[in-house]
Structure 1
Amino acid sequence: MRLTLSASLAVLAFAAASSASAEEGMWTFDNFPIAQANATLGTTIDQAFLDRVRLSSVRFGGCSAGIVSDAGLVMTNNHCVATCVANLSTQAVNYAETGFTPKARDEEVKCPGATAEVLTDIADVTERMHKAGEGLSGSAFTRSRDAEAGRIESEACGPATDKRCQVVSLYRGGQFKLYTYRKYSDVRLAFAPEDRAATFGGDLDNFSFPRFAIDAAFIRLYENDAPASTPTHFVWKADKPVEGTPVFVSGSPGATQRLLTQDQLMTIRDVVLPMDQLIASELRGRLIRYSEEGERQVFEAMDPIVGLENTYKRGLGRMRALTDPGFMAARVAAETDFRSKAGDRVFADLSAIQPTLRELYPAMALLEGGTGVGTTPVAGGSQLFAWARTIVRGAQERAKPSAERLPEFGDARLSAAQTALFANRPVYPGLEQVRMEWWLSKTREWLTVDHPYIPALLGKESPEQRSARLIEGTKLADPAVRRALWEGGLSAVEASDDPLIQYLLAVQEPTRAVRTEWEEKVQAPTDRASEQLAAARFAAYGDAVYPDATGTLRLTYGLIEGSDVPGQRWGPFTTFAGLWDRATGAPPFDVAPKLLAAKDRIAGDTVINMTVSSDTIGGSSGSPVVTAAGEIVGANFDSTVLTQRNAYGYDRNVNRSVIVTTGAVTTALRDVYGMDGLVAELGVR
């Protein structure tokens, strides 16, 4: 593809295209700029390469992964299997402390509720989706489009349980594609190191470099109770990486906001990020306090605290970008250029929505979630609350025709809801109560005591009283109880005496009202205006434009290289020798016991981590890093704080993805954890 944009615009959201000197773009596999990538990198990839990479790439929960053997073996990050490890662990047998090191395949253990997916097909359904919204506005527009998406998904996948179909909005409504996935519902943990090996340096080193983390793990895909046959897979390459090598990163980045207007970004800067940051920091504080109560509480709160720390640092980096005069001036220049081509009308429509969005955001974020712009966890992330809401809403929605339901309960999506609901996961009542108590307290604080929805949420009780009563009285921790309520339908749900079920029934009116108002006044007009803006963008820039990330599979590329800008000056590699030098013996710079015991068996110059100038963001964790020959040389696990501006625009000077190398993973498997079976399966000699 030939590009029509100047280099000064190429790093910015509205252009969203790459110049010859910048590895920008989270490209979809059906619109990847092969010629441009080859010209930039000096490679000779072709469509066959793209097909192999796509079929070897895996979406795993909110992470990415890569198939590395013909028997369903998949490499991802250790932090991507942290929930699985926590679910399989107890205080007596804590795999986060010891590592999970099965000696044979029959010792691999199923991750509760986990699914993995491989993208098999992409089809254009733009015309159908646009036609579904013609002449409509408000919630009628939203519901009509949701219903059409559900019909398309049902037509494509039907009752199949080994496939999943998803209508994906690209270019903020400019295009719609049907993504078809091969779905694996039996995903088993095959290896995880000691947590300290994967998180050396803790929160102090998080979102930074140099790093010394073996943040890698393996899962295995199963079908019919046997390892899946996966003849298409990446080739394992454990050689020492070479600076300047071109590489490709394939994964499912969560969300970028590069195509937003400046007025939309000001709403994020002034309303969304400040609220989300305050929320995350206070919830983290409450969980830390909870963890100080004893060893059991430390065990229960460890994984949630790490997740909140990631959320907070990510938001911090994004706030710095939105308050960086140089970065924002470049975005303004790009928008000015775009306005000269597209006109002001659609921009004005989006600007007019912002006061309403600012007003409605707190209630929508706290009571419903799913705003598309923030990260505030509903009910503090309470698992019991999430199950109760699925049961109650599922029962209410399934009583309607599929086209009239909330989209998450359409026929094509019910299997995903059931998988999550029926999973046998441990529940920690103390932790659940902290989450619920925090949520009720913060909701009352943010919405104010006089808000009309507060009586339904609290009645005459305090947040402490209500959360204690609900969590102590519910029986939803038992998967059999959840299954019985789900299968019993609306009559069983309404007859239930479970206090959490009754609570969710009681709060449906206000929470659904919040969602309806958001759809009517924010989501629908935003989607309509964004669709028009996308058409103007295509007219101005053609197909040299890539879409914002949407949690769907993308391919980016770059070079193995260090950084030389203020605040991050370093070479591209760290080694085991550097790990030993950095270690102090005191947390968080204490080396994992098994790793430390293997010190004399490990070559000090073995590279642990490296940095790459690829275009990645949250959700790219676990993304396979591959050469032009299709050899996997690492997995993305982090990026720097400065890179968090990547949500709003790519800046090659500061953008660096942090990679754990296959050489480090091989060393850990062979010399630390005795995983000889996996080493042989990977073809290491």
Structure 2
Amino acid sequence: MPYLGAFQFLFTKLSFYMYQIIQLKPLLAALSLLLLFSCAAPQQAADDAAAPANESGTAAQTAAEPETEIISLLPTFEPVPSSILDNGRMWTFEHAPVEYFAETYNFDPDDAWFERARLGALRLPGCSASFISPNGLVMTNHHCVRDQITQIGREGERTLDDGFYAVTLSDERMIEDYYLDQLIDIRDLTDLILDEVDSAPIEQQAQVRSQVIQRVQAELSAEFDESENIVVQVVSLFNGGRYSAYFFRRYFDIRMVMAPELQIGYYGGDADNFTYPRYNLDMTFMRVYEDDAPLQTPFFFPFAIEGVRSGDGVFVIGNPGSTTRLNTVAQLTYAGQFQLDIIHRFLFHTLNSLDAIFELDPDTDEAQQLRNTIFSLRNAEKLYGGQVLAHRDPFLMGRRTDNENNFVAALRDNEALAAEYIPIIERIAEIQEQKAGLAPYPYIMSIGMQPNSALSSALLQRALVAYRLVHQDLSTEARTQALAGLTAIQDRDPAHERLLIENHLRYLADLLGDDSPYMRRILNGHDKAEVAAALVQNSAFATQEQTEAFAETAFREWSDPGLDYFNAFGSRLYENTLMFQLLSQEENQLETRLGRGWFAVYGTSIPPDATFSPRIADGVVAGYEYNGTIAPAYTTFYGMYDRHHSHNTDPQWALPERWATPTPSLDLSTPLNFVSTNDIIGGNSGSPVVNTRLEIVGLAFDGNVESMGSSTLILDDRSARAVSVDSRGMLEALRHVYRADRLVREIEDARHQR
């Protein structure tokens, strides 16, 4: 799925210890822990009248006053019959599903088969890839390397728009500051890590777990010489129920071989994104070099001579980014009602501002980079919008409810498991109610507001750091670090700043309502554009130079319109954020403990949640019912040209010059894209799709709209599909449109070299 790997890591695991500047005094910590277990009902607004106090300073209570019934802030769902495979088919290589694959697809995948599958696959930043020849040739999606395609362009070249092809080996261009990872070994660390964690008091286990993981990772890394380029990653599986050490060989000398034009690699643009039928040539080829020569590798996936047919079993080997299928129903419900909805609103308003910024001057180099960011965020906006709908869908959430009921029933069958894990499920549910009572205020301080984020105003980023400095009790060291971070935030064009601030105000109004007391304080009778312009004109946080001078004054005495922006919330913004952080920390610890319960009940009969680590997912090529008709298993070049001519005035379906008039040798009946039931998610972009002989039949690049929202919480293969570029379409285009004879020969010769 385009771009989703990186953005899921940015948004789905929201936490506020990313800032790591909140340090509590013992009294404040004790007070916070006391509040942690209080009623989850929403707090009163900061400007509401306080309850009368008695002589001891606490709120007065009337003895005869009846207890108020606590009303849940979260809906419930009726159970719908589920399957254990609702948890997905993203299998790990250390627990390879040998028997399941053999029974389901009628072939014998032995250890050697899984080893070849693992070593032929690659991981690159945010996406997946694979070796497709013994000479280090690598295949991935065009959308995964758009920045790199732009980077290799020389003066006067438009490599992203016009494409690139290295006619000779010497023409292949170095990609700066880039790398690919190959998983070469796996070791089980479960007993080593959990023995140390279990020996610590419960309140210290999170810290001990982090320390032991860091120590073990360092010890394992020390086994290798630096020149070997081995990267060790300790991977948590089943939310901490199991641990593995993954050993990656990292390659740094990566060179661009071929990339098609953006218009054909992203054909249909935003309108066709996350849809099917599709007509995308979302492919790019690179090469790994070692000692300034093409890498020689025995592990690669040759292109299949024959393509796939409907009903064929296929396997996607890649790095799915993040799923939440082991989360409790309460967690998923909270996410749908609050977290995902708030993120979606933020993306909607941010895109409005970035689109406006791009239109101010679309021809600069910075604008071209911004265009890639907009592409990425538009995908993320669609994803999160779909996730909100899926997390509120009675059928899907009913299946999750049934799945959890089955899990709880299995726990109850074992007295020890029931005593250990059912209270955890109950406490996690309580935490979701408490978090619901704090929303949306903690998100105002987190989403997109990290220093130097491209998603928000530099002025507001500085003001937020200053707000923390004023309101949080920091140690001298932490305050020094925060001040350094404050003055390191880079300037932006004032016109861009105004647009970003104005749209942040629209985002706040969307969350809180224009008539909320907080918005009335911030706007003070003015419209949003006027407030944004006044902030840029009058705040000391408008520029880096002014901020540095302002930071020299006593921060407890700071007064500035930028600070007033956040001070308008009174103490609620800070207090709710603090409480949310504490609840999230407790929730993370409980999740880790509950992961052991899942493993105790199901073992390796289900895969763990995705963690952007190598997985193999099975499925079959299959069309599906949609829009009152049937989506075919694959599309052809005929369909692409029909799309073009049917929308001949819309630039999204325009064709690049070399494609506008097809050459007589191009077989328009060649399959271009196909769909399958494979379980994929963000991070799988660029994954090879192989047959039982580990031959390339496709290149995964997207999910259809039916999978867009549900894929994080459930595997729903009724109509959810992975969308791939067909290997036949890739070769047909390379041969007859791009005349990439050298590349075609290498791909076809590889069939005889494994």
TM interval, shorter chain, is: 0.7 to 0.9
The aligned counterpart of 1:590 is 654
Deviation at residue 362 of structure 1 after TM alignment: 5.7
8 Å Cα contact 1:164/1:182 also seen in 2:
yes
8 Å Cα contact 2:139/2:285 also seen in 1:
yes
What whole-Å deviation, never above 9, does each CA across 1:79-108 have from its counterpart, x for those lacking one?
Answer: 001121233447942212110112123222
- Alpha-carbon distance in structure 2 between the residues aligned to 1:250 and 1:35: 18
Q: Sort the Cα spacing of 1:548 and 1:226 in 2 relative to 1 into closer, same or farther, 3 A.
A: same
What whole-Å deviation, never above 9, does each CA across 1:221-271 have from its counterpart, x for those lacking one?
Answer: 223333222221111225343222211110000111111111101110111
- Alpha-carbon distance in structure 1 between the residues aligned to 2:182 and 2:112: 17
Q: Sort the Cα spacing of 1:109 and 1:384 in 2 relative to 1 into closer, same or farther, 3 A.
A: farther
Helix, strand or coil at the partner of 2:321: coil
Task: Using the TM superposition, name which of 51-60 and 599-608 deviates more.
Answer: 599-608
Q: Aligned match of 2:340 in 254, 268, 273?
A: 273
| Residue 245 of structure 2 corresponds to residue 178 of structure 1 | yes
Deviation at residue 166 of structure 1 after TM alignment: 0.9
Output aligned runs, 1:279-678, within 5 Å: 279-296=346-363, 299-342=368-411, 343=418, 344-358=422-436, 367=445, 380-381=453-454, 437=501, 462=535, 469-470=542-543, 521-565=582-626, 569-583=630-644, 584-585=647-648, 586-644=650-708, 645-678=710-743
The aligned counterpart of 2:44 is none
- Alpha-carbon distance in structure 2 between the residues aligned to 1:92 and 1:464: 38
Opposite residue 596 of structure 1, the aligned amino acid is A
8 Å Cα contact 1:366/1:378 also seen in 2:
no
What whole-Å deviation, never above 9, does each CA across 1:461-516 have from its counterpart, x for those lacking one?
Answer: 82687699547999xxxxxxxxxxxxxxxxxxxxxxxxxxxx9xxx9xx9xx9999
Opposite residue 574 of structure 1, the aligned amino acid is T
Q: Sort the Cα spacing of 1:678 and 1:64 in 2 relative to 1 into closer, same or farther, 3 A.
A: same
Deviation at residue 431 of structure 1 after TM alignment: 10
- Alpha-carbon distance in structure 1 between the residues aligned to 2:247 and 2:496: 36
8 Å Cα contact 2:353/2:503 also seen in 1:
no
Helix, strand or coil at the partner of 1:683: helix
What whole-Å deviation, never above 9, does each CA across 1:259-304 have from its counterpart, x for those lacking one?
Answer: 1111101110111111111111111111211222233255343211
- Alpha-carbon distance in structure 1 between the residues aligned to 2:440 and 2:196: 30
8 Å Cα contact 2:181/2:250 also seen in 1:
yes
Output aligned runs, 1:16-415, within 5 Å: 16=87, 24-89=88-153, 92-134=156-198, 135-136=200-201, 140-158=204-222, 160=226, 162-237=229-304, 239-296=306-363, 299-342=368-411, 343=418, 344-358=422-436, 367=445, 380-381=453-454
The aligned counterpart of 2:24 is none
Deviation at residue 534 of structure 1 after TM alignment: 2.2
Q: Sort the Cα spacing of 1:675 and 1:682 in 2 relative to 1 into closer, same or farther, 3 A.
A: same
Helix, strand or coil at the partner of 2:248: strand
Q: Sort the Cα spacing of 1:155 and 1:516 in 2 relative to 1 into closer, same or farther, 3 A.
A: farther
- Alpha-carbon distance in structure 2 between the residues aligned to 1:40 and 1:248: 12
Cα RMSD of the aligned pairs, angstroms, is 4.0
What whole-Å deviation, never above 9, does each CA across 1:100-120 have from its counterpart, x for those lacking one?
Answer: 112123222233332210111
- Alpha-carbon distance in structure 1 between the residues aligned to 2:663 and 2:438: 55
- Alpha-carbon distance in structure 1 between the residues aligned to 2:305 and 2:685: 20
* Percent identical residues: 28
Q: TM-score, normalised by structure 1?
A: 0.78
Opposite residue 352 of structure 1, the aligned amino acid is E
8 Å Cα contact 2:206/2:589 also seen in 1:
no
Which of the pair has more CA radius of gyration?
Answer: 2
Q: Sort the Cα spacing of 1:526 and 1:102 in 2 relative to 1 into closer, same or farther, 3 A.
A: same
- Alpha-carbon distance in structure 1 between the residues aligned to 2:496 and 2:729: 37
Q: How many residues are matched? A: 596
Helix, strand or coil at the partner of 1:40: helix
Opposite residue 244 of structure 2, the aligned amino acid is K
- Alpha-carbon distance in structure 2 between the residues aligned to 1:630 and 1:219: 20
The aligned counterpart of 1:420 is none
Unaligned runs of 5+ in 2: 1-79, 412-417, 466-476, 479-490, 523-530, 548-561
8 Å Cα contact 2:345/2:507 also seen in 1:
no
Opposite residue 239 of structure 1, the aligned amino acid is E
Q: Sort the Cα spacing of 1:472 and 1:286 in 2 relative to 1 into closer, same or farther, 3 A.
A: farther
- Alpha-carbon distance in structure 2 between the residues aligned to 1:152 and 1:230: 30
Deviation at residue 11 of structure 1 after TM alignment: 5.3
- Alpha-carbon distance in structure 2 between the residues aligned to 1:612 and 1:164: 33
8 Å Cα contact 1:57/1:67 also seen in 2:
yes
Helix, strand or coil at the partner of 2:149: helix
- Alpha-carbon distance in structure 1 between the residues aligned to 2:545 and 2:654: 38
Deviation at residue 128 of structure 1 after TM alignment: 3.1
What whole-Å deviation, never above 9, does each CA across 1:48-80 have from its counterpart, x for those lacking one?
Answer: 111001001001111111111112111000000
Helix, strand or coil at the partner of 2:288: strand
Unaligned runs of 5+ in 1: 1-6, 17-23, 370-374, 393-403, 406-426, 475-502
8 Å Cα contact 1:367/1:514 also seen in 2:
no
- Alpha-carbon distance in structure 1 between the residues aligned to 2:116 and 2:210: 32
8 Å Cα contact 2:164/2:259 also seen in 1:
yes
8 Å Cα contact 1:25/1:556 also seen in 2:
yes
- Alpha-carbon distance in structure 2 between the residues aligned to 1:472 and 1:193: 44
8 Å Cα contact 1:264/1:354 also seen in 2:
yes
- Alpha-carbon distance in structure 2 between the residues aligned to 1:640 and 1:195: 20
8 Å Cα contact 1:82/1:303 also seen in 2:
yes
Opposite residue 255 of structure 1, the aligned amino acid is S
Task: Using the TM superposition, name which of 627-636 and 346-355 deviates more.
Answer: 346-355
Deviation at residue 575 of structure 1 after TM alignment: 0.5
Deviation at residue 41 of structure 1 after TM alignment: 1.7
8 Å Cα contact 2:165/2:257 also seen in 1:
yes
Opposite residue 245 of structure 1, the aligned amino acid is D
Task: Using the TM superposition, name which of 288-297 and 56-65 deviates more.
Answer: 288-297
8 Å Cα contact 2:242/2:596 also seen in 1:
no
8 Å Cα contact 1:437/1:467 also seen in 2:
no
Opposite residue 170 of structure 1, the aligned amino acid is L
Helix, strand or coil at the partner of 2:306: coil
Q: TM-score, normalised by structure 2?
A: 0.71
Q: Sort the Cα spacing of 1:464 and 1:259 in 2 relative to 1 into closer, same or farther, 3 A.
A: farther
Opposite residue 573 of structure 1, the aligned amino acid is Y
The aligned counterpart of 2:74 is none
Task: Using the TM superposition, name which of 356-365 and 337-346 deviates more.
Answer: 356-365
8 Å Cα contact 1:379/1:439 also seen in 2:
no
Opposite residue 241 of structure 1, the aligned amino acid is V
What whole-Å deviation, never above 9, does each CA across 1:381-432 have from its counterpart, x for those lacking one?
Answer: 36998xx99xx9xxxxxxxxxxx99xxxxxxxxxxxxxxxxxxxxx996998
Helix, strand or coil at the partner of 1:616: coil
